[in-house]
Amino acid sequence: MGRIQDCFKENRDVIVELLSKNLNQIVVRLHKRNVITDSEKLGVECSLSPALGIRDLFYYIEVNDKSEDFIDVLNQTENGGIAHLVRLSANYYFTSELKNSEFAIGTDVVLSCEISNDRTVQWFKNGIELTTCSKYNITKDFLVHQLIIINAQEEDAGDYLCECCYAKTRCRLKAGLQVIKALRDVELVKGETLHLSCKLNRDLNIKWLKNGKEISCDKQTDCKKTSQENLFKYTLKMKNIKMINSGEYSCVCGNFKTSCFVIITDIPIEQIINARTTEKLYEIQGKKEELAQKEEKIVKEETKLLEMETEIRNKAMEIKEKAEEIESQRSKLALKEKEMKEREIQLELKEAKLGELEMEKIMLKKDSLTLTQQSEELKFTRANANMMQNELEKLKNEKTELEKRIEILEKYIDNGSIKHEQTITEIRQTYENMITKMKAEHDDTLSSIDKKLEEMQQKQSGICVVS
């Protein structure tokens, strides 16, 4: 039984719906990895429908034993759910399967199979799951799984299934032919009615033989088959038998045969002698015929009753099969609903993650805009700092020139003039105070600029790290 192909059969609708969206992309990637050949790639691409192409693709993957590459490619194309199904089908399959067989009623029947990996299996009979009970014993010996049917009867015949993931193995059990009631030797008087019957547990196309030759059914000879509770009764009835009807009678079908001897005798002479009158003899014969007619009527009524019971049983079986089919469809629908819910959860997680990324993107844009504004402010501050530096340089130059002029003035000033010296000292002091004040203001400004530059560099480094 196939492995990955079973996965496709069990989940055909879901797989076709999801893979058909990016089938060409999957085929191209598989071809690049040399998983499928040129002709196989062309076969999938030129299929009459996506379903046929995907079915062939699963077949190629299984034949080439490339399930791991297939799973990897499916994951790359956001088909993780299907990849999971393929992995289960590839890893769990039956290395030894169930086989059709017959069993003898009253014996224990053992159904055995072996799985590729250690995993729990499920057992079913005619679509109904089985569990360990007084009738069934379910065992497991590592990879070997067994279902033991205890004291198997006719009703235990049917279709059995062992399932693991998407791997399945089936078999059909039939009850071996069993003779419930065999033909028995009989001795009759000529003119009586012959009744021969046998009961089996099988519905067979039997033949009646006399001394090895087939008996034809006519008005005198009636062949019937009736059934009740899975048992089948085969009857041969012959009216007004004669001496010539003596012999070996057999009920046969293929290798099956049950036989008996029928002996026909004349009316015993003692019965004739003891009969009071010939009329009495005829009266006895009439009562026998009347009794035979009543017996025939009873048999017909029983046959009708059995036919009605059989019809009712068949209707019940049809209803049971329909109910099992509906339950199977419900199980499949529940599985598909579960898969859809899992996909919806995955989609919600992806959408949530996408929302987080969008928020982070917006925050980064906002930080970038802030950084740009701060950068512009820094440029403006640097320009102001340069202007102040230039002004400071001019002041220094002016101070130097002023000092030179003072030196020149001092040469021409009278050394004894105290008033002039005081004036010069006051001028020098005033100028130095002015220079000191401007320098202090300039140093504060430069310190503030340096501090602001350092903060902006730290912010810029933090944004880079977050990005």
Instruction: Say which CATH number the domain at 124 has.
Output: 2.60.40.10
Instruction: Please check whether residues 68 and 143 belong to one and the same domain.
Output: no
pLDDT in the model for residue 14: 84
Instruction: Please check whether residues 77 and 115 belong to one and the same domain.
Output: no
Whether 337 maps to a domain, the answer reads no
d(CA 342, CA 336): 10
Instruction: Please check whether residues 459 and 384 belong to one and the same domain.
Output: yes
Q: What is the CATH number of the domain that holds 40?
A: 1.10.533
Instruction: Please check whether residues 203 and 167 belong to one and the same domain.
Output: no
pLDDT in the model for residue 289: 75
Instruction: Please check whether residues 413 and 443 belong to one and the same domain.
Output: yes
Instruction: Please check whether residues 54 and 37 belong to one and the same domain.
Output: yes
Answer for the pair 196, 234: CB distance below 8 angstroms, yes or no: no
- Among residues 175, 201, 223, the one where a domain terminates is 175
d(CA 229, CA 82): 47
Instruction: Please check whether residues 441 and 381 belong to one and the same domain.
Output: yes
Residue 103: strand, helix, or coil: strand
Instruction: Please check whether residues 461 and 377 belong to one and the same domain.
Output: yes
Instruction: Please check whether residues 56 and 132 belong to one and the same domain.
Output: no
Domain count of the fold of the chain: 4
Instruction: Please check whether residues 203 and 135 belong to one and the same domain.
Output: no
Helix (H) or strand (E) holding 463: helix 418-466
The single-letter DSSP state of residue 105 is T
Whether 16 maps to a domain, the answer reads yes
Whether 295 maps to a domain, the answer reads no
d(CA 41, CA 28): 8
What angle (nearest 5°) sits at the alpha carbon of residue 175, between those of residues 170 and 181?
170
Neighbour tally for 286: CB within 10 Å = 10
Spatial strand order in the sheet of 128-130: 101-103, 167-175, 158-164, 122-125, 128-130
Whether 194 maps to a domain, the answer reads yes
**pTM score above 0.75:** no
Whether 406 maps to a domain, the answer reads yes
DSSP states of 329-374 as a string?
A: HHHHHHHHHHHHHHHHHHHHHHHHHHHHHHHHHHHHHHHHHHHHHH
pLDDT in the model for residue 74: 85
Per-residue pLDDT of the chain (467 residues; tens, 9 = 90+): 457 877 887 788 888 888 888 888 888 888 888 888 888 888 888 888 888 888 888 888 888 888 888 888 888 887 888 888 888 877 788 889 999 988 887 889 999 999 988 888 999 999 999 999 999 999 998 899 999 999 888 888 899 999 988 788 999 998 888 788 888 999 988 888 899 999 888 788 889 999 989 888 877 788 888 888 778 899 999 888 888 889 999 999 888 889 999 998 876 655 555 555 555 666 666 777 777 777 778 877 877 777 787 778 778 777 877 887 787 778 778 777 777 877 777 877 777 777 778 777 887 887 778 787 877 777 777 777 778 788 878 888 888 888 888 778 777 655 555 556 677 677 778 777 777 777 777 677 767 777 777 777 676 666 554 44
- Among residues 247, 266, 285, the one where a domain terminates is 266
Instruction: Please check whether residues 386 and 398 belong to one and the same domain.
Output: yes
Those residues with Cβ within 8 angstroms of residue 355's Cβ, 6 or more apart along the chain or in another chain: none
For β-strands 101-103 and 247-253, DSSP reports them as: unpaired
pLDDT in the model for residue 181: 87
Answer for the pair 169, 113: CB distance below 8 angstroms, yes or no: yes
Residue 464: strand, helix, or coil: helix
245: closest CA among 324, 175, 188, 305? 188
Instruction: Please check whether residues 48 and 26 belong to one and the same domain.
Output: yes
pLDDT in the model for residue 407: 77
Whether 261 maps to a domain, the answer reads yes
Whether 355 maps to a domain, the answer reads no
180: closest CA among 229, 236, 233, 256? 233
Those residues with Cβ within 8 angstroms of residue 261's Cβ, 6 or more apart along the chain or in another chain: 185, 186, 247, 248, 249
- Among residues 235, 266, 297, the one where a domain terminates is 266
Whether 28 maps to a domain, the answer reads yes
Domain assignment of residue 49, given as a range: 4-91
